[in-house]
Amino acid sequence: MHLMYFTEQPMSAYPEDEGLKRGATALMFSNRHFDPVAGSRLYNEYLEHYRLAEEVGFDGIMLNEHHNAPFCMQAKCNVFASILAAVTKRVKIVLLGNPLPLADNPVRLAEELAMIDMVSRGRLVSGFVRGGGQEQLATGVNPAFNRERFEEAHELIVRAWTQEGPFRFEGTHYQHRVVNPWAVPLQKPHPRVWIPGVLSKETIIWAARQRYPYIALSTAIDATKKIWELYDSVAREVGYTGGPENRGYLQRCHVAETEEKAMANARQFMWMQGEFTGLAHPVWSSPSGYFSPSYRKAFVEFAVGRAANPRAAAFEEQIREQQIIAGTPKTVIPKLRRLLEETRPSILGFWAADGFVSNQDTTTCIRLLGQEVLPAVREMGKELGLWSPFEANAPVSITQPAPPTPRNGA
């Protein structure tokens, strides 16, 4: 198994009452509520948490990015990836990921990622995402071409990594008359690419077609099983058998020394009414053209307040469905076992705390995970045959049948 630590890097020092009063804390919620003094403190705390995660035995650190919102302070995951490349020694740096459509110059992104891979001595896993709906608006990128830009930028980056330059790229959305970046990845043929997602069938199908592992972000167990049914059926179509090495899952999992404390802290996963969209305005989080046409009816009804957020569920329901797990190590381990048995992922991210959980409680949580939970999960992984892409020497992609080298850093 590949076990990762994750935090959204919440900007918990923002005035929550202002957010609740405004009713939406993304995109148009004024940045006058951002306090850079608290921001500086929090960034450094989060950095300490990452170092601790490596120390207590996590295999990877998962990073992401969002824009114009307190629920995530990372505006550029490559910045923290660069820092971690230098200050950590062993963990994989797992970006889930760079929002490709937001990039106007994917070659530049390819260069940044190659630099991170070299500085970290081959520890980069470079995931790619479409970016949330409001991210398109925050960066002025046309939501109607989101998926086209995603696929085209991906093609250009992989070519920039694998094809000797100079070459010319004339796409629909990207045109580069000279592609010849001197920074190229250490890992050959290129760093592993993992694709996280929540809802879009199109993304699952695309990831399966590429033979890229798909990372389900905190979906309910039944929904996760449906994801793997779809993924595996596409895998069969394109000529391989899907298995644990293709499956990842991000689990919100808070552990503490007592049940009561764990449950109280776990409620912070619902801060700003929960979900990674926070108090997102439904129109901003799903701009026209961004979401799949098959969800059009659901989203237009959501946009005018006629239906509930198709992506949201109440805390109690998320506890029941194990989208959130909370407790002492003793009580969370059987729940994790159920997750592993029923959905068989080999990549497991632990989203350990959110919102206003104190620095001390977060630190305790990371220690308990490392000391008591991770060893138990590793044993279960062995027993259940959940070999990660690294352990299984899985190919990088459908077009690159070899596992990447160097395998464990240069």
Partner 1 sequence: MAPTASALAWTIEEVRVAGSSVRLRTTGRGAPLLVLHHDIGTPEQLPFYDALAGHFTVLLPSHPGYDGAERPAWMRSVRDVAVTYQALLATRGPADVSLLGLGFGGWIAAEMATMAPRAFRRMILVGPMGIKPGAGEILDQALVSYIDYVRAGFSDQAGFDRLFSPDPPTPQLEQWDLNREMTFRIAWKPYMYNPTLPPLLSGVQTETLIVWGRDDRIVPPGCGEQYARALPKSRLTVVDGAGHFVDMERPEALAKLIVQFAAES
Could you list the residues that contact partner 1 (CB under 8 A)?
A: 27-28, 137, 140, 142-145, 282-284, 287-289, 296-297, 299-301, 303-304, 306
State residue 177 phi and psi, 5-degree precision. -75, -25
Indicate the residue among 32 and 306 with the shorter CB distance to partner 1. 306
Q: How far apart are CB 137 and partner 1 at their closest, in Å? A: 6
Indicate the residue among 33 and 173 with the shorter CB distance to partner 1. 173
Contact 326, 319 (CB under 8 A): yes
Say which amino acid occupies 94: V
Indicate the residue among 89 and 297 with the shorter CB distance to partner 1. 297
Indicate the residue among 242 and 282 with the shorter CB distance to partner 1. 282
Q: How far apart are CB 196 and partner 1 at their closest, in Å? A: 25
Tokens of 55: 């120390």
Contact 9, 66 (CB under 8 A): no
Q: Beta partners for 125?
A: 94, 192
Q: How far apart are CB 292 and partner 1 at their closest, in Å? A: 12
- CB-based contacts of 330, cutoff 8 Å, min separation 6: none
Indicate the residue among 89 and 296 with the shorter CB distance to partner 1. 296
Q: How far apart are CB 286 and partner 1 at their closest, in Å? A: 9
Give the other-Cβ count within 10 Å of 141's Cβ.
18
Tokens of 247: 């499956």
Q: How far apart are CB 305 and partner 1 at their closest, in Å? A: 8
> DSSP for 363-376?
HHHHHHIIIIIHHH
Alpha carbons 303 and 233: distance in angstroms, whole number: 33
CA nearest 7: which of 376, 374, 311, 355? 355
State residue 211 phi and psi, 5-degree precision. 65, 35
Indicate the residue among 62 and 138 with the shorter CB distance to partner 1. 138
Contact 247, 345 (CB under 8 A): yes
Indicate the residue among 205 and 300 with the shorter CB distance to partner 1. 300
HSE-up of 150 (CA within 13 Å, CB side)? 21
Q: How far apart are CB 97 and partner 1 at their closest, in Å? A: 24
Indicate the residue among 39 and 171 with the shorter CB distance to partner 1. 171
Q: How far apart are CB 146 and partner 1 at their closest, in Å? A: 10
Alpha carbons 95 and 215: distance in angstroms, whole number: 11
Helices (H), 34-92: 36-56, 77-87
Indicate the residue among 140 and 239 with the shorter CB distance to partner 1. 140
Give 35: exposed, middle or buried? Use CB within 10 Å, 0-12, 13-18, 19+. middle
Q: How far apart are CB 223 and partner 1 at their closest, in Å? A: 24
State residue 119 phi and psi, 5-degree precision. -65, -40
Tokens of 160: 């920039």
Q: How far apart are CB 175 and partner 1 at their closest, in Å? A: 14
